[in-house]
Amino acid sequence: MFRSRPALPALPPSLSMFDPVYVADDETGRPVCLDMADQVGIILAGEPGSGKSVGLANIVAHGALSYADCRLTLMDGALVELGIWRACADVFVGPDINHAISVLEKQQQEITECCEMLLDTRRRKVVQGDGDPMHLTVIDELAYFSATVGTKAEREKFNTTLRDCSARGRKCARRYVLATQRPSSDIVPTSLRDLFGYRWAFRCATDDSSDVVLGRGTAKTGYTAAAIPDTARGVGLLRAEGKRVPRRVKAAYLTDDELHRIAARAAVLRGRS
Q: Which spans of this chain sit near Mg ion (rule: CB under 5 A)?
A: 52-53
Helix (H) or strand (E) holding 138: strand 134-140
Closest CB to Mg ion among residues 53, 210: 53
Between the alpha carbon of residue 152 and those of residues 77, 159, 188, the distances in Å are 17, 11, 14
Provide the residue type at 199 as one letter.
R
Closest CB to ligand ATP among residues 22, 253: 253
3-state secondary structure of 238: strand
3-state secondary structure of 76: strand
Decide which of Mg ion, ligand ATP, none touches 17; Cβ closer than 5 to 8 Å per partner kind: none
Closest CB to Mg ion among residues 24, 269: 24
Q: Which residue pairs from 214-218 have beta carbons closer than 8 angstroms and sit at least 24 positions apart in sequence?
A: 214/239, 214/246, 215/239, 218/246
* Sites for ligand ATP among residues 13-52 (CB under 6 A): 46, 48-52
Single out the residue of 87, 95, 253, 259 in contact with ligand ATP (rule: CB under 6 A).
253
Is 159 near ligand ATP (CB under 6 A)?
no
Q: Are 155 and 145 in contact (CB under 8 A)?
A: yes
Is 210 near ligand ATP (CB under 6 A)?
no
Closest CB to ligand ATP among residues 140, 211: 140
Decide which of Mg ion, ligand ATP, none touches 22; Cβ closer than 5 to 8 Å per partner kind: none
Rounded to the nearest angstrom, the gap between the alpha carbon of residue 17 and the centroid of all alpha carbons in its chain is: 11
Q: What does the binding site for ligand ATP look like in residue numbers (CB under 6 A)? A: 46, 48-54, 181, 202, 233-234, 250-251, 253
